[in-house]
Structure 1
Amino acid sequence: MSNSEPFLDDNEVLSDTMIRRNGRHEILSQTLQSTTSLANLLPTGTILTFHLLSPVFTNRGDCDNVNVVMASTFLMLCALLVFILCFTDSFRDKRGNISYGFATFNGLWLIDSEVPLSPRLASRFRLRVLDFVHGFTSVLVFSAIALSENNTVKCFFPSPSRDLQQILTALPVGIGFASSFLFVLFPTQRHGIGYSFHAK
């Protein structure tokens, strides 16, 4: 078979897909979409960065006053980054170029283009209440996981009580479950920096 010859005609594929789609496929499709939403909203990249750099700022858990200040500052900066990234969005133009920007009350403010969007197009990207819900929830998830990191716990809580140890152990699990449920129930429509992209 020639390399230039397609395996199936596009129309044939679409027709076959439409015929074979049933309730089971719809459930699977919804599950995969929910998983994508979770992957977009959970601050995995920031958490990984925090885990890699926290030993430096916390002196591997052996903190003096300077280390506590540095670790607190680093924690707050990461939390701020998590919050801000929830307000980024993107779109693809007719040439296939992807542009990124920040959602505002007036629309999308582009950060990598000198040409602003038309008011009609920009209005599709306006800030919504759900953006703030996603932002605060993502910060909550990050904070719970970051504060359960071994070096961070030793730095901020050198001699934790037994009750505090149990709280620090159970808190990330509880927050993670509640946040995941919220993200699945109210998925994001944004495709900002670090998000998987599809054409809008």
Structure 2
Amino acid sequence: MSLRQRPTTSSEQQQPPISSAQSSTSPTSITPTATTPATSIPPSSSTSLSRRALSQTLTSTANLANLLPTGTLLAFQLLTPIFTNNGSCDAATGPLTLLLLLLLAASCLLASFTDSVKSSSSGQVYYGFATFKGLFLFDYIQNPNASDHDLPDLIKYRIRFIDGVHAVSSVLVFAAVALRDKNVLSCFFPTPKHESQEVLDIVPVGIGLICSLLFVIFPTRRHGIGYPITPGKY
């Protein structure tokens, strides 16, 4: 018996591939808004004014440093307790303390007329005392090999009126400092009255303030002894 092959119907339904619908729209590129660059602001005038004020303050402070010689003030702080016996003066220590104060005041007076110059060739600093004819140098020896322009013109360093004002102010400031010292007060004014105590409290402070303002407004041109030389003052 022959088996007949059954015809198979190959009706294959081909389904088209389902492609996911993708949006063909490209993503919008968000361009950042262009910010205008900040314009460079020039340095304000307030900054320059503050720098000038700071420079002027430092210069005024340097001028006040010449108001009292450092060595004189140091000697006063060291010797006053010894001479006054810590404020308990007697017939011997009282005159000695007064003599010490007079010598220190004379030191402040004379130091206001001292100055220093620098040699242009060797750079050596020479110290001298101002006179009406010029600056008299203490430690300068004329070198025959040096030129005539080795030192600046010493006539420019002669005594002026403002030097006398600075000298008197320096003595007054030293007197104000001495009157504020407890050892000096206990020596010369052991039991002051109420009115005297008020004068001793107010007058030294007023003298110091007025003289300090005077030095700030009219600064000294003298370099003194031991202070750095600032060019261009004369």
Tell me the TM-score normalised to structure 1 length: 0.82
Which residue identity is paired with 1:99?
A: Y
Question: One-letter code of the match for 1:24?
Answer: S
| Alignment CA distance shift 1:167-1:196 (3 Å) | farther
Q: Does 1:158 align with 2:184?
A: no
Who is 1:5 aligned against?
none
Deviations 1:129-149 (A, max 9, x none): 000000000100001111221
Pick aligned residue for 1:49 from 75, 87, 108: 75
Match of 1:105 in 2: 132
The structure where helix makes up a greater share of residues is 1
Q: Mapping of 1:67-82 within 5 angstroms?
A: 67-82=93-108
Query: Alpha carbon RMSD of aligned pairs, Å?
Result: 2.1
If asked which structure has higher relative contact order (CA below 8 Å, sep 6+), I would say 1
Shift of 1:51: 1.9
Conserved? CA contact 1:91–1:199, under 8 Å? no
Percent pairwise identity: 47
Contact 1:86–1:134 (8 Å) recurs in 2 = yes
Does residue 114 (structure 1) correspond to residue 146 (structure 2)? The answer is: no
Give the 3 Å change call, closer, same or farther, for CA 36–86 of structure 1 in structure 2.
same
Runs of 5+ consecutive residues of structure 2 not aligned to the other structure: 1-46
2:221 equivalent in structure 1:
189
Partner SS state of residue 47, structure 1: helix
SS at match of 2:227: coil
The match for 1:84 is 110
* Aligned partner (choices 34, 42, 57) of residue 60 of structure 2: 34
- The counterpart of 1:147, out of the listed 152, 170, 179, is 179
Greater Cα radius of gyration, structure 1 or 2: 2
For residues 89 and 153 of structure 2, the distance between their equivalents in structure 1, rounded to whole angstroms, comes to 51
Task: Give the match's secondary structure for 1:37.
Answer: helix
TM (normalized to structure 2)? 0.71
